[in-house]
Amino acid sequence: MKVLVVGGGGREHAIVWKLRQSPKVTELFCAPGNPGTAQLATNVDIGVTNTGALAVWAVQNKIDLTVVGPEAPLAAGLADVFAQHGLRIFGPSQAAAQLEASKSFAKEVMQKAGVPTPRAELFEEFEAAKRYVEEQGAPVVIKADGLAAGKGVTVAMTVDEAIAALKECLLDERFGSSGKKVVVEEFIKGREASVMAIIDGTTVLPLVVSQDYKRLNDGDQGPNTGGMGAISPTDVLADEQVEGLAAEIFIPVLKELWSRDIRYVGFLYAGVIVDEEGVARVLEFNCRLGDPETQVLLPRLQSDLCEVLDAAVSGKLSSIELSWKSEAAACVVLSSRGYPGEVDDGKPITGLESTENDVFVFHAGTTLAEDGQTVVSKGGRVLTVAALGETRNRALGKAYARLEKISFDGMHCRRDIGGGAW
């Protein structure tokens, strides 16, 4: 099969790496890809939201299956455009991707479907939102309704912080149209886990559970990021609980979407918080795999990813059972100085060359310098170093040992992935 992966981050490098192992894949492409995917696939220089150009390229190159990594192309309707061209694609339609692209849509669907989720109200007007926050008190969570590159959520510990976040969205328009509506959500104290599934329209195949570490610095301090590392399995939720969670979360949501004539085909990610009483509630949905969670999930997956996704696009997931390796996995993200704010690009990266069994260096914010050979940084999250091990600690030990060999100016990572009570 000729397979195209859309995206160019660490998640997509991990997807390409896993697909490359499939005997079903004869040719593999990644648009736009990165220097890491270039070692395993042919990179195609088309941006992820250039939906028309991607479809034309896929038709011309007779692509049998397209797998979409990030949310932006799905929210822009890539799956719909591909379907119009008769192309097979694994990723939800624009209507289904609203589960991630609109927090208020996701809340409404969850409430109708009876999925446990923190209480929330939607606001478009600053004064009304401010009054509500003053009545509710803090801590409270403020969420920009639309896509905001992982930066649209503020966990406000004081009313003043909450009002500042409302002002940023509704008055200062920091997130443009994505922040014209805000969801004000009840704060739940607990630990978070990432629960993902592969869905073919009717059948839900849950993946094992993972946990990401969202804050920039050790001790869960500093600003929220897209994720500084991940582990799988996690103590927050056991892998054995996923079937129950699928029945409680994914199936009711699919049914609610059906009632609106929306069919969901793709990965679906539920960000779940488990409170001190052990009650799990859904904080958010993403219409894709997590990053960096994918970098620990796919090394644990034994099954042939191409076979599974091909079956999903054909609506035949019910005939598939996923198998998993017995090992644990962990990963650590290497970021640029300044991330999640402004960063300086173009820092040469050394130590990428060596390869070891069960240790993986996935590229994200990297590119080639003008000499066409030197790999340099380009963006905030530069690399993910992942490893498998008999235990989580062994996996972490291998990942940390490998990242010691990598260096670039301003390189930052958390030193406590896998630990802590957060």
By the rule CB under 6 A, 286 interacts with ligand GLY: yes
Question: For ligand GLY, which is the closer residue by CB, 270 or 349?
Answer: 270
How many Å apart are CA 272 and CA 193, to the nearest integer? Answer: 5
At 75 the three-state DSSP class reads: helix
How many Å apart are CA 299 and CA 147, to the nearest integer? Answer: 28
By the rule CB under 6 A, 100 interacts with ligand GLY: no
How many Å apart are CA 102 and CA 96, to the nearest integer? Answer: 10
Question: For ligand GLY, which is the closer residue by CB, 89 or 270?
Answer: 270
By the rule CB under 6 A, 145 interacts with ligand GLY: no
Per-residue x/- marks for ligand GLY, 252-271, CB under 6 A? --------------------
By the rule CB under 6 A, 227 interacts with ligand GLY: yes
- Count of residues that interact with ligand GLY, criterion CB under 6 A: 7
Least separation, in Å, of the C-beta of 286 and ligand GLY? Answer: 5
Q: Which stretch binds ligand GLY (CB under 6 A): 111-119, 246-254, 275-283, 290-298?
A: 290-298
> Left (φ > 0), alpha (ψ -120 to 50) or beta: where does 130 sit?
alpha
Question: For ligand GLY, which is the closer residue by CB, 98 or 203?
Answer: 98
Question: For ligand GLY, which is the closer residue by CB, 55 or 229?
Answer: 229
- Are 224 and 156 in contact by the 8 Å Cβ rule? The answer is no
By the rule CB under 6 A, 80 interacts with ligand GLY: no
Q: Nearest-CA neighbor of 346 among 305, 378, 393?
A: 378
By the rule CB under 6 A, 293 interacts with ligand GLY: yes
Question: For ligand GLY, which is the closer residue by CB, 64 or 212?
Answer: 212
Q: Which stretch binds ligand GLY (CB under 6 A): 164-172, 232-240, 247-255, 288-296?
A: 288-296
Residue 29 C-beta-side C-alpha neighbours within 13 Å: 19
By the rule CB under 6 A, 10 interacts with ligand GLY: no
By the rule CB under 6 A, 295 interacts with ligand GLY: no
How many Å apart are CA 373 and CA 364, to the nearest integer? Answer: 17
Least separation, in Å, of the C-beta of 227 and ligand GLY? Answer: 4
- Are 105 and 94 in contact by the 8 Å Cβ rule? The answer is no
* Gyration radius (Cα) of the chain, Å: 21
Applying CB under 6 A, among 200, 212, 248, 310 the residue interacting with ligand GLY is 212
Least separation, in Å, of the C-beta of 232 and ligand GLY? Answer: 12
How many Å apart are CA 97 and CA 106, to the nearest integer? Answer: 10
By the rule CB under 6 A, 71 interacts with ligand GLY: no
How many Å apart are CA 46 and CA 32, to the nearest integer? Answer: 5
Tell me which amino acid residue 262 is. Answer: I
Element (H, E) at 211: strand 211-212
At 370 the three-state DSSP class reads: coil
Applying CB under 6 A, among 291, 359, 382, 395 the residue interacting with ligand GLY is 291
Least separation, in Å, of the C-beta of 291 and ligand GLY? Answer: 5
Q: Nearest-CA neighbor of 64 among 102, 96, 101, 27?
A: 27
Task: For CA atoms 109, 422, 267, 277, give the dihedral sign.
Answer: negative
Cα distances (Å, whole numbers) of residue 289 to 14, 197, 270, 354, 403: 11, 9, 10, 28, 24
Least separation, in Å, of the C-beta of 268 and ligand GLY? Answer: 12
Question: For ligand GLY, which is the closer residue by CB, 34 or 211?
Answer: 211
Q: Which stretch binds ligand GLY (CB under 6 A): 29-37, 85-93, 289-297, 355-363?
A: 289-297
Applying CB under 6 A, among 92, 190, 226, 340 the residue interacting with ligand GLY is 226
By the rule CB under 6 A, 232 interacts with ligand GLY: no
Which residue is listed with tokens 């409430």? 111
Applying CB under 6 A, among 9, 152, 266, 290 the residue interacting with ligand GLY is 290
> Left (φ > 0), alpha (ψ -120 to 50) or beta: where does 220 sit?
left
* C-alpha angle 359-300-245 in degrees, rounded to nearest 5: 145
Question: For ligand GLY, which is the closer residue by CB, 80 or 293?
Answer: 293
Q: Which stretch binds ligand GLY (CB under 6 A): 164-172, 284-292, 302-310, 358-366?
A: 284-292
Sites of contact with ligand GLY (CB under 6 A): 212, 226-227, 286, 290-291, 293
